[in-house]
Structure 1
Amino acid sequence: MEPVRILMEQLESIARSSIAILPQLAVALLVIIITWLVVKVAVALLRKALDRSRLRPSLKEVFTLLMSIFVWAMGIMIAAVILFPGLTPASILAGLGIGSVAIGFAFKDVFENFLAGIIILFRREMRIGDFIECEDIEGKVARIAIRESHIRQTDGQLVIVPNALLFKNPVTIRTDQDLRRVTVICGVAYDVDVDEARSVIADAVASCSTVSQDDKPIQIFAQEFGSSSINFEVTWWTGSKPVDTRRSKDEVVAKVKRALDDAGIEIPFPYRTLTFKEPLPLMGQSEKDDA
């Protein structure tokens, strides 16, 4: 009977302790409920204030998330102090400090991408809809989240890129400006007048609808003496999207080819000159010598 008596005494002690802590538990639950209401009101007011700004939607989500975390942390800390009177805000913060170090080491990559995402969201250079290139990844920015960015490649595939990759490496933003310079090489035969060829090419490029001529000049330079042609560097400005550059190249190449054909200017293919150490007799001459 002695073990039963001891067990009953322990259960009675636990029951008394639970009853004694009920008022504190009720107040702690009330604090949690009030915290939930405060989070709802604070987030609604913050979103209303952020809607008037020009911040990105993802950045607005970051601010609301940080606001929610801060209010919840304060509410839970107050509830813990009420429920366990031995705790103090200083001891809770000290425990959180030690715990945050351990969590930081365990989730280093997650926090790295999180911080990189916040910095990227503050950048105005890379926006939703821009075409970018980074570490062999090229495509359209579909979404910028807190930890990752979504890049839609030109072939339709979606690449989810960690924000730390975009933060640590150089990023080429192809649509930062409305226009981009495009260059092709065009060769003409050596017996063609260089100035005449340049004029024909310039007129052909200027007649293209995809070539911008407002404040960006068309530039044509004789670049080099090729193996079978004089090579011209043909440069113009067109839309910055990848499809714009492909469409413009197609039009320019077609019109330059047609203009050179109409002007009787040859676009040569490579010629080869064969040199033999010994003289070779011609076929007709060898038959005459045999006769």
Structure 2
Amino acid sequence: MNYIATLRDQLQGMATGFVAALPSFAIALFVILLTWIVARFATKLSDMLVGKTDIRPSLKNLIDTVVKLAIWVIGLFIAAVVVMPDLTPASLLAGLGIGAVAIGFAFQDIFENFLAGVLIMVREKMRIGDVIECQGITGKVEHISLRESHVRRLSGELTVVPNSILFKNPVEILTDVDQRRHEVVVGVSYDTNLDHAADVIRRSVEEVDDVLASKGIDIFAQEFNSSSVDFLVRWWAGSTPRAGWESKDKVVRAIKAALDDAGIEIPFPYVTHTFKETVPVSQIGQQNKPTP
């Protein structure tokens, strides 16, 4: 058997087949280029149509992605049929079904985050701009994609969070509404008239500008502490962390000034100190010597 002649015949056949397929490859490349143009045009058209509605930005991104993905799937299928005329939708789906199992096991985390991103975009809660807290991460949501979300921490760092974490774990949305309740504990001495102290605290909190007095102010005698009777003071103010800190600062200052004016003492906690005798190093070992 002449192996060299056989190899030469096979290479010539492959070269002839490749040359014969060049027109098909050119048409397939043209189809891909046309698909790219149509996908960009469809995305802009989708932005124009959706932009006239009050739809959420995250859902808008999802619609753009779905439109672009659908156009690319159709375009790639047409290009594949041009290159391989024997390819049919049934055979393509069968091949995709077998490959999807292998790909699913290999890229399980990626698909999990992808599906979680779709569900996060579809649901109404947690919009871009909300301040959230999840798994020890507190910050403002800046971007939501199909795989990950960008959360800007209150200290300025950007945290990239996989969508599966935000979907599978409880998420506290601090800015879901414009106002939320804040609280602080205030202690007064045991010789204080508690009704009078509660009235002084209430009036001082009501005079703070940032406090929504119309939603009510709660003053509860909470517990007997070691050196004081503690009140739990609760009020409504802005829902953002900064609004909460600012209102708490003003409330604490107002309560302290009002209690001082009323002559009501805010006691220090009693601290028991244990004093130990200090012995110089030179005297160590001489303390237990018998006296001559």
Calculate the TM-score normalised by the size of structure 2. 0.83
- The aligned amino acid for 1:234 is V
Report the alpha carbon displacement of residue 117 of structure 1 after superposing the two structures with TM.
1.0
For 2:227, what is the secondary structure of its paired residue?
A: coil
Maintained 8 Å contact 1:58/1:146: no
- The aligned amino acid for 1:129 is G
Report the alpha carbon displacement of residue 254 of structure 1 after superposing the two structures with TM.
1.3
CA distance in 2, matches of 1:272, 1:96: 73
Cα-Cα RMSD: 2.5
Change in 2 beyond 3 A, CA 1:6/1:122: closer
CA distance in 2, matches of 1:164, 1:188: 48
- The aligned amino acid for 2:111 is F
Maintained 8 Å contact 2:62/2:121: no
Question: Could you list the runs of 5+ residues in structure 2 that have no partner in the other structure?
Answer: 273-292
Report the alpha carbon displacement of residue 88 of structure 1 after superposing the two structures with TM.
2.0
CA distance in 2, matches of 1:142, 1:28: 39
Provide the residue aligned with 2:182 in structure 1: 182
For 1:141, what is the secondary structure of its paired residue?
A: strand
Provide the residue aligned with 1:205 in structure 2: 205
Maintained 8 Å contact 2:116/2:167: yes
CA distance in 2, matches of 1:268, 1:44: 66
Maintained 8 Å contact 1:81/1:89: no
- The aligned amino acid for 1:241 is T
Give CA-to-partner distance per residue, 1:20-77, whole Å, 9 cap, x none. Answer: 4455445444443443443343333322222223333343333222222222222222
Report the alpha carbon displacement of residue 98 of structure 1 after superposing the two structures with TM.
1.0
Provide the residue aligned with 2:249 in structure 1: 250
Provide the residue aligned with 1:60 in structure 2: 60
Change in 2 beyond 3 A, CA 1:234/1:56: same
Provide the residue aligned with 2:172 in structure 1: 172
Report the alpha carbon displacement of residue 115 of structure 1 after superposing the two structures with TM.
0.9
Change in 2 beyond 3 A, CA 1:8/1:66: same
Identity of aligned residues (%): 52
Work out the number of aligned pairs and report it.
272
Calculate the TM-score normalised by the size of structure 1. 0.83
Question: Which of 2-11 and 75-84 deviates more?
Answer: 2-11
Maintained 8 Å contact 2:151/2:159: yes
Report the alpha carbon displacement of residue 138 of structure 1 after superposing the two structures with TM.
1.0
- The aligned amino acid for 2:137 is I
Mapped pair 1:223 → 2:222: yes
Change in 2 beyond 3 A, CA 1:96/1:204: same
For 2:213, what is the secondary structure of its paired residue?
A: coil
Give CA-to-partner distance per residue, 1:187-218, whole Å, 9 cap, x none. Answer: 2222222221111111111111121123x111
Provide the residue aligned with 2:278 in structure 1: none
Question: Could you list the runs of 5+ residues in structure 1 that have no partner in the other structure?
Answer: 274-291
CA distance in 2, matches of 1:7, 1:125: 65
Provide the residue aligned with 2:192 in structure 1: 192
Provide the residue aligned with 1:113 in structure 2: 113
Change in 2 beyond 3 A, CA 1:265/1:9: closer
CA distance in 1, matches of 2:256, 2:115: 52
CA distance in 1, matches of 2:12, 2:240: 77
Change in 2 beyond 3 A, CA 1:231/1:94: same
CA distance in 2, matches of 1:56, 1:160: 21
CA distance in 1, matches of 2:267, 2:5: 110
CA distance in 1, matches of 2:69, 2:85: 24
